[in-house]
Chains A and B, each alone.
Chain A
């Protein structure tokens, strides 16, 4: 079945460091790819998405490019802030399912120290 594998955490960085959280997927169809973020005490929020190969999703300084050849959707940010501390989930939604179901990676906890 479809699956998402993301970089194990926790990840701890200093403020203004460069961030990469790796995400790879396996899918039988043509998935859309997502990054969700969960801040402490809050629900998951959509951070960015890409719906087809070579699309780049971006939001709040975060970027991820849909790489079909490497089945990857790595999350990057050039200069992280303390406020970016959260748990990040990579996910896919396969159009074979009617684009309704999300399959999540295990989540990566990110802590940014001042």
Chain B
């Protein structure tokens, strides 16, 4: 159980276009979803936290107008990279956290999406 999927797994786009990445919790309802970015040989950096039905909370330094996050249902969150540029090329990872686990809410991670902007 507790499977999180991401689609697509890889995407290549031209500079200036927008790309949407989907994150789905397949067998549980996720009240909270997280979006991370991972640079080569570096750690995962939290970009934003989204709660179903409300606006996402972005980490300091993350442009909310560039990285649009929508958490419209308890099983789906989307990250849209708008007007993508080569510096947005990265590995994007989502995680989902089910409700009711007390103070330590385990996060279940998707396999990641490799974005390459040409």
Q: With A44-B93, A100-B32 given, is the CB distance from A107 to B109 under 8 Å?
A: no
Q: Would you call B109 and A45 a contact (CB within 8 A)?
A: yes
**Is the interface on chain B under 10, 10 to 19, 20 to 34, or 35 or more residues?**
20 to 34
Q: Is the CB of A89 within 8 A of B43?
A: yes
A99 to B34 alpha-carbon distance, docked (Å): 13
Interface size class of A (residues with CB under 8 A): 20 to 34
B103 touches A43 (CB 8 A): no
Say how far A37's CB is from chain B's closest CB, in angstroms: 11
Assess A102 versus B46: contact at CB under 8 Å? Given A43-B112, A44-B109, A45-B109.
Answer: yes
Instruction: Please give 14 more A-B residue pairs, beta carbons under 8 A apart, in addition to A43-B108, A104-B43.
Output: A4-B43, A32-B104, A43-B110, A45-B109, A46-B107, A49-B104, A89-B43, A99-B104, A100-B32, A100-B97, A101-B49, A103-B46, A106-B43, A107-B42
The reply to whether the CB of A69 lies closer than 8 angstroms to some CB of chain B is no
- In the assembled complex, the CB of A106 is this many whole angstroms from the nearest CB of chain B, namely 5
Number of A-B contacts (CB under 8 A): 50
Interface residues of A (CB under 8 A from B): 4, 32, 36, 41-46, 49, 51, 89, 93, 95, 99-107
Q: Which residues of B contact A (CB under 8 A)?
A: 4, 6, 32, 34, 41-44, 46, 49, 93, 95, 97, 103-112
Q: Are B49 and A43 closer than 8 Å at their CB atoms?
A: no
A41 to chain B, nearest CB (A): 7
The residues of A that contact B6 with a CB separation of less than 8 Å are: 43
Interface-centre pick from B42, B46, B49, B104 (highest chain A CB count, 10 A): B104
B41 to chain A: which residues have CB within 8 Å? Answer: 106-107
In the complex, what's the smallest C-beta–C-beta distance from B101 to chain A, in angstroms?
9
The 6 closest A-B pairs by CB, nearest first: A43-B109, A44-B109, A104-B43, A43-B111, A106-B43, A104-B44
